[in-house]
Amino acid sequence: MQHKLNLVELSREANLQTLVENRTSYTLERCELNVFETYSESYKVPLTFNDFVITSMLRGKKIMHLFDKKGFDYLPGETVIIPASQAIQIDFPEASDENPAQCIALAIDNDQIKQTIRYLNEYFPKATADQQWSLNYDEYHFYNNEEISFLINKIIRICGEGSKEKDVLADLTLKELLVRIMQTQNLKTIGRRTDTNHNPLAYVIGYIRANLSEKISINSLSSKACMSKATFYRLFKRELGISPNDFILTEKISRAKQLLARPGSKIAAISYELGFSDANYFIRVFKKLEGITPGSYQVQFSAL
What's the pLDDT tens digit per position in 80-127?
999 999 999 999 999 999 999 999 999 999 999 999 999 999 999 887
DSSP element (H, E) containing 65: strand 62-65
pLDDT at 194: 58
For residue 53, give the nearest of 31, 24, 71 by alpha carbon.
Answer: 31
Q: What is the largest CA-CA distance in the chain?
A: 64
What is the C-alpha separation between 78 and 260, in angstroms, rounded? 25
Give the per-residue pLDDT at 300. 86
Which tens digit of pLDDT belongs to each residue from 168-180? 999 999 999 999 9
Q: What pLDDT digit, counting tens, does each position of 188-200 carry?
A: 998 776 566 678 9
CA atoms within 13 A on the CB side of 272: 5
Query: What is the pTM assigned to this prediction?
Result: 0.90
At residue 302 the predicted structure's pLDDT band, cuts being 50, 70 and 90, is confident
The C-alpha atoms of residue 285 and residue 270 are separated, in whole angstroms, by: 13
Q: What is the pLDDT of residue 128?
A: 78
pLDDT score of 248 more than 90: yes
What superfamily in CATH does domain 13-190 come from?
Regulatory protein AraC (2.60.120.280)
> What does the pLDDT read at residue 139?
94
The phi and psi torsions of 262 (rounded to 5 degrees) equal -75, 135
Q: Residue range 145-162: average pLDDT?
A: 95
Q: What is the pLDDT of residue 163?
A: 86
Q: What percent of the chain has pLDDT over 90?
A: 88
Predicted local confidence at residue 199, as pLDDT: 85
Percentage above 70 pLDDT, the chain: 97
Integer Cα distance of 131 and 124 in angstroms: 12
Q: Can you give the residue ranges of every domain in the chain?
A: 13-190, 199-302
pLDDT higher than 90, residue 31 = yes
Distance (Å, whole) CA 297 – CA 286: 10
**Dihedral class, residue 21 (left if φ above 0, else alpha if ψ from -120 to 50, else beta):** left
**Across the chain, what does the average pLDDT equal?**
94
CATH class of the region 199-302:
mainly alpha
